[in-house]
Amino acid sequence: MENEVVSRNFIEQIIDNDIEDGHCKKVITRFPPEPNGYLHIGHAKSILLNYGLSQKYHGQFNLRFDDTNPTKEKEEFVESIKSDVEWLGAKWHGDVLFASSYFTQMYEAAVKLIKKGKAYVCDLTPEQIREYRGTLTQPGKESPYRNRSVEENLELFENMKNGVYEDGAKVLRAKIDMASPNINMRDPIIYRVAHITHHRTGDTWCIYPMYDFAHPIEDAIEGVSHSICTLEFEDHRPLYDWVVKELEYENPPKQIEFAKLYLNNVVTGKRYIKKLVEDGIVDGWDDPRLVSIAALRRRGFTPESIKMFVDLVGVTKSQGAVEYPMLEYCIREDLKQKASRMMAVLDPVKLIIDNYPEGQVEYMEVPNNQENPELGTRKVPFTKELYIEREDFMEEPPKKYFRLFPGNEVRLMNAYFVTCVDYKKDANGNITEIHCTYDPQTKGGNFAGRKVKGTIHWVSVSEGVNVEARLYENIVDEEKGVYDEETGEINLNPNSLKVVKNCYVEPALAKANAQDKFQFVRNGYFCADVKDSIEGKPVFNRIVSLKSSFKLPV
RNA sequence: UGGGCUUUCGCCAAAUGGUAAGGCACUGGAUUCUGAUUCCAGCAUUCUGGGGGUUCGAGUCCCUCAAGCCCAGCCA
């Protein structure tokens, strides 16, 4: 019985209090993306946080598209966002919701404010509005249109709705305080004119609500109890509360801000990614080197590993950046038991067993995962000629090198003990073949007679299959830092993608389907690529290498 | 030089005035048919950005200084 006390994060503490004092009867959270781009790992934190809270408190989680600005939004993105949220395992309540479904209610809410004398139509130009707003250190000044009568405002606002005015000619503003030290409270614009076709409402509207006005209304309509967003909205909370109060909602939602998830040495900025795509440096928004949800999925990360990661990172208000190895830890941890452990040689050199019968194929029965018997066993063909890793042989080994070298005996994993008797080199001094003898009584690799320090993996030359594998490094040059100080551009790592064409894998791997994940013994975890794998000819992306404490002395 | 927020080990993060959890990373060592995994040990010995104060007692309260992040879109 585990009696461990798990401390609650600050949001849970707020919710606990709200429940305790009766302010909150049902916890309703939401993930409110604008459909204007692809989701990345940072959004995963928000999704999982909001969904997790709804689960923990037996409440409800909504997926709502915040589509109040048709100039930036596309249907394409609502589809990709939906599939990303789904993939992460966050099940939203009922139908997908859209802010645009509430346009009528928002319009009515605006009318209500006008009637209360809390909003007015302003004719100032964008330049003038900026000027009147003041600066960070100086208060703003009031618009000359600020004291129009309720009747006039009502008429003007209706005209705005009816398309009487050009884009930018007039806006509706909340009447708050032009001298507020918080710039968001200096009579913020709550409605603008925009003659644009909306991806869902078409041409029904030519005025659209601004975020600060729309968002609290959306939350209130849906009965959201806790509206969780990121730190940059802290300054907006007084306005959020103002809207909710003036509109007199019964159970006003509460906005809570938390710190975004940043990864060290990782690029998430839209414009940078866009440039990488345009420059052909990556093959799309789902290039496995990126950290969009789609990219992580393609790379081979599992939803479980992402969940583990955000849980490990925690929820606070202090902004920081997590190190990438934490994410790597999570996927290794998740795949450790789940993935079959197969043999694949990434940098092959031929090993010939001189005393093994020519043409013979022996099938070795091997467990798919030593730590998880449920994964069963498979048969791996063994022959006279094999491929082994080039780095598993050295002519002149340093101390404590216990792989293959002249005169040394090692275990071929799951097969036999072999002893190196000879090797051949080409004119350039590269090893071309290694000759060994094997000991038949060591079959299967279990032999009580002798101990052997090294175990290496192998693939049969005649039975193995040639595939392509891709090895990744950070797309950013970590030595130089993410951004070039002068140009502001990304410092690219020229070695971020290594394509290995002559990778040899055991036959079972040829049958891998897209997204299947394996451990390639001693080489890391790999995932069959969704885009480039074809039937019988998978392409493997390395998700993450295995940890290694082995280093050659220098 | 206005306002808001943040500051606990290299990174993330607990501690809710009672004497600095945990994870990642790292370092040793044991086990091992993956130099993986697993295991065991070490990793802020008066220390919580600095300096004051209150208190029997402060990372937690007060004052003050400093540093970092965010805000002047008819973006979200």
Q: What is the ipTM of this complex?
A: 0.96
| Interface residues 293-312 of A with strand B (CB < 7 Å) | 312
| Interface residues 477-496 of A with strand B (CB < 7 Å) | none
- A58, pLDDT greater than 90: yes
Among A344, A310, A296, residue whose Cα is nearest residue A468: A344
Structure tokens at A158: 């209706």
Higher pLDDT among residues A151 and A447, named by residue: A151
**Percent of all residues in chain A with a pLDDT value above 90, rounded to a whole number:** 95
Rounded mean pLDDT, A44-60: 98
Nucleotide showing the shortest C1' distance to residue A65 CA: B76
Distance A454 CA to B35 C1' (A): 9
Provide the pLDDT for residue A5. 59
Nucleotide showing the shortest C1' distance to residue A129 CA: B74
Closest amino acid to nucleotide B4 (CA–C1'): A235
- A488, pLDDT greater than 90: no
Provide the pLDDT for residue A1. 31
Distance A11 CA to B18 C1' (A): 26
The rounded distance, in Å, linking the Cα atoms of A247 and A216 is 10
The angle at the Cα of A240, spanning A239 to A245, to the nearest 5 degrees, equals 95
Residues A368-418 have pLDDT tens digits of 999 999 999 999 999 999 999 999 999 999 999 999 999 999 999 999 999
Distance A155 CA to B1 C1' (A): 43
Rounded mean pLDDT, A220-230: 98
Provide the pLDDT for residue A448. 87
Q: Is the CB of A519 under 7 A from strand B?
A: yes
Q: Is the CB of A270 under 7 A from strand B?
A: no
Alpha helix ranges (H) inside A5-40: 10-20
Residues A518-535 have pLDDT tens digits of 999 999 999 999 999 999
Q: Is the CB of A367 under 7 A from strand B?
A: no
**Chain B nucleotides reached by a protein CB under 7 Å:** 1-8, 10-16, 21-28, 33-38, 68-76
Distance A23 CA to B27 C1' (A): 51
Distance A134 CA to B68 C1' (A): 26
The confidence band for A223, taking pLDDT boundaries of 50, 70 and 90, is very high
Structure tokens at A26: 């049902």
Provide the pLDDT for residue A546. 98
A512-541 burial, b if ≥16 CB within 10 A, otherwise e? bebebbbbbbbbbbbbbbbeebeeeebbbb
- A96, pLDDT greater than 80: yes
Distance A520 CA to B63 C1' (A): 61
The confidence band for A553, taking pLDDT boundaries of 50, 70 and 90, is confident
Q: Is the CB of A137 under 7 A from strand B?
A: yes
Rounded mean pLDDT, A78-101: 98
Structure tokens at A394: 């050295």
In terms of Cβ atoms closer than 10 Å to its own Cβ (0-12, 13-18, 19+), residue A77 is buried
Q: Is the CB of A515 under 7 A from strand B?
A: no
The rounded distance, in Å, linking the Cα atoms of A362 and A384 is 10
Q: Is the CB of A360 under 7 A from strand B?
A: no
The confidence band for A48, taking pLDDT boundaries of 50, 70 and 90, is very high
Structure tokens at A258: 């938390």
Q: Is the CB of A179 under 7 A from strand B?
A: no
- A277, pLDDT greater than 50: yes
Distance A478 CA to B10 C1' (A): 15
Q: Is the CB of A401 under 7 A from strand B?
A: yes
Only one residue has tokens 């208060």, namely: A139
The confidence band for A144, taking pLDDT boundaries of 50, 70 and 90, is very high
Rounded mean pLDDT, A24-41: 97
Residues A114-126 have pLDDT tens digits of 999 999 999 999 9
| Interface residues 314-343 of A with strand B (CB < 7 Å) | 314-323, 325-326, 328-329, 332-333, 336, 341
The confidence band for A109, taking pLDDT boundaries of 50, 70 and 90, is very high
Q: Is the CB of A547 under 7 A from strand B?
A: yes
Q: Would you say A264 and A326 are in contact if contact means Cβ atoms under 8 Å apart?
A: no
Q: What are phi and psi of A20, to 5 degrees?
A: -60, -45
Higher pLDDT among residues A56 and A481, named by residue: A56
Provide the pLDDT for residue A554. 65
Distance A136 CA to B61 C1' (A): 32
Residues A21-32 have pLDDT tens digits of 999 999 999 999
Strands A517-520 and A524-528 come out as antiparallel
The confidence band for A4, taking pLDDT boundaries of 50, 70 and 90, is low
- A283, pLDDT greater than 70: yes
Provide the pLDDT for residue A7. 86
Rounded mean pLDDT, A196-225: 98
Mean pLDDT, chain A, whole residue set: 96
How many other CB atoms are there within 10 angstroms of residue A177's CB atom? 15
Distance A472 CA to B26 C1' (A): 23
Nucleotide showing the shortest C1' distance to residue A167 CA: B74
Q: Is the CB of A208 under 7 A from strand B?
A: yes
Q: Is the CB of A125 under 7 A from strand B?
A: yes
Distance A286 CA to B37 C1' (A): 31
